[in-house]
């Protein structure tokens, strides 16, 4: 499966893994939450709930979910 990811800066990015987890990868790796079957983000870790997420991270998560759901992608039309 192709990894869907969003780069945040030079050394960090967020991606969706095979289990629909949203993972932050930098000097450390942490699961921020999960994408449910309705394509909603469900926060998972205490860090996410206590510290919150930056606007840049929230935008990246929204972009990941859009791409995972296929929103905004052109589909081939039946002939």
pLDDT of residue 21: 93
In this structure, is residue 33 part of a structural domain?
yes
So what's the pLDDT on residue 1? 59
> Does residue 74 fall inside a structural domain?
no
**77 in any annotated domain:** no
At 4-54, the pLDDT tens digits run 899 999 999 999 999 999 999 999 999 999 999 999 999 987 777 788 888
Domain that holds residue 34: 4-69
Q: What is the pTM assigned to this prediction?
A: 0.82
- Alpha carbon distance 42, 34 (integer Å): 5
* Look-up of token digits 């629909």: 20
Residue 49 lies in a domain: yes
* Torsion region of 59: left, alpha or beta (phi above 0 gives left; psi -120 to 50 gives alpha): alpha
Does a structural domain hold residue 22?
Answer: yes
Q: Answer yes or no: is 50 within a domain.
A: yes
Two structure tokens written together for 60: 């990246």
């Amino acid at each position: 499966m192709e990894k869907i990811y969003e780069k945040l800066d030079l050394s960090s990015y967020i991606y969706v893994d095979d289990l629909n987890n949203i993972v932050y990868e930098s000097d450390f790796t942490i699961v921020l939450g999960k994408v449910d079957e309705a394509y909603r983000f469900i926060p998972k870790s205490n860090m996410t709930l206590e510290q919150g997420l930056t606007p840049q991270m929230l935008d990246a998560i929204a972009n990941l979910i859009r791409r995972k759901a296929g929103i905004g992608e052109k589909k081939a039309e039946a002939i």
